[in-house]
Structure 1
């Protein structure tokens, strides 16, 4: 396990669990509770964001690369053994079909009238992969795309995953995030959102930025990734400040915070205040239990 990738995974899980806890408040109270920093007591469970990131990391640790078939099997197995992690209804259908032996090439294009999902699932799980390949941005782009298409066939979902992976790689190496991300993200709506993000001042209130960029309410990469990358670029070396800023806009807080945590932690570390109580991750040194080799 590469240390930077593990730190990214832990930051992702922390952001995911932190963000998810705000849903304990009614919608009308959530933004105010975040503004007041009223942390929810008890252990904070993580969601499908972290579960799928764990699958990505296990595949990388076992095989060193993504070959498309292997992560499809890993995602399906993880879902089958622990289906109560806030997976969306469309992704549940995809993962059930994969677990039952369907070919991901056929399954992923059956959702959203044949277009494939352009949701944020491929982006929310990918930051540790970006750090894993941080020394080779061509590999970051290729591998982020490979892990995306097995569940999200729409090009904007892959673009969102590429953007997050490159952001994590750039931040791990101490580089400015947004220029690196814009240089590598394929043209489309995600890239257009990132260009808008690059023009926004970091002195802006994150809620104002979210009004321009989206805050994940539409559960799409287009509506999620530009805002999350902007928040990470605003606080590239301060994980806790980045998570509070990200959460302040509301929206799909577990996913935006998971993305930001995965991007920022490799540079900032994944330490957190003692009153923050995320659910522990499984033993990352243990074998994943899969006895197979990558497809050729």
Structure 2
């Protein structure tokens, strides 16, 4: 049984979701410019806010909302209701940038959500997904259970396995959830996250990230750690956590630094945003960002 939920936990999870959605929507704005990576990088360095008047969020936020629905209803992760939540959200709006694995899995879960253990293991030739999808959506869960780090790990694993059967897909989710919990507690560090992350490439990446000075340029860190170009958890999570650790009390600076890494920038910014905002909220962000970001209502 999960730990008792407090009002403070729920508020931290709401803050995290708001930051995740803001990072997701902000990061997504850069993709149309990637045909000329030099131009987009220059714009990011110059801190030129994306010009579009409306910033929709993607599947990162859609699936995070699915997690929040289950937590609001049950106070813990229940896997078949979560599978049902994910599939219903997907079927209602499939144009959110879901990856190929979710386009295969989620329609099948709509037919039978209880079949998730079998269906999820069939993905990618029977290996299961080691992608960054379970990591990108999980920060609000970490904030929700932040009073109990053991529960953070357990609940993150439960949430990940509904779609990601590969151990490294699960490890990515654990790392992000633990980082969000530590952010709420004011205890965020790369090594503290690594200590609670299952062994393998994700944990190895976190330990490499712990040795990258926080004074390094974000693009240099991204070159060392990866920034999601391969859409794998181990190629995404370490850099996103590094930028969150670099700016634990400044959401705007954290998101700009994350964007400098390019790569899967909506997902890295969603992860960083969910971690940092679990502590800070979004109240200090520029008004134009908050006005342009698609509502969560």
What range is the shorter-chain TM-score in?
A: over 0.9
Q: Which residue of 2 aligns with 1:19?
A: 27
1:180 CA displacement: 2.0
In the alignment, what sits opposite 2:40? 30
Mapped to 1, the partners of 2:142 and 2:178 lie a distance apart of: 6
Partner of 2:124: 112
Deviations 1:118-156 (A, max 9, x none): 010100000000000000001000000000001011000
Q: Which has the higher helix share?
A: 2
Deviation of the 1:27 alpha carbon: 2.6
Q: Is the 8 A contact 1:22 1:40 kept in 2?
A: no
What is the DSSP-based 3-state SS (H/G/I as helix, E as strand, rest coil) of the residue aligned with 2:287? coil
| RMSD between aligned residues | 1.1
Residues 190-217 of structure 1: CA distance to partner in whole angstroms, max 9, x if unpaired?
0000000001100000000011100100
| Residue pairs, 1:1-296, within 5 angstroms | 2-28=10-36, 29-38=39-48, 39-101=50-112, 103-271=115-283, 272-276=285-289, 277-282=292-297
C-alpha deviation, 1:53, in angstroms: 0.2
The answer (yes or no) to whether the contact 1:190–1:225 under 8 Å persists in 2 is yes
| Aligned partner of residue 161 in structure 1, secondary structure | helix
Change (3 A) 1:27 1:37: farther
Distance 1:274 1:132 in 2: 26
1:289 maps to which residue? none
| 3-state SS, counterpart of residue 109 of structure 1 | helix
Q: Distance in 1 between matches of 2:89 and 2:129?
A: 20
The more displaced of 125-134 and 19-28 is: 19-28
Q: In structure 2, list runs of 5 or more residues that go unmatched.
A: 1-6
Equivalent position of 2:4 in the other structure: none
Deviations 1:232-282 (A, max 9, x none): 000011000000000011110000000000000022221220221211112
- 4+ long deviations beyond 4 Å: none
TM-score w.r.t. length of structure 1: 0.93
How many residues are aligned here?
282
Normalised by the size of structure 2, how large is the TM-score?
0.93
Gaps of 5+ in 1: 283-296
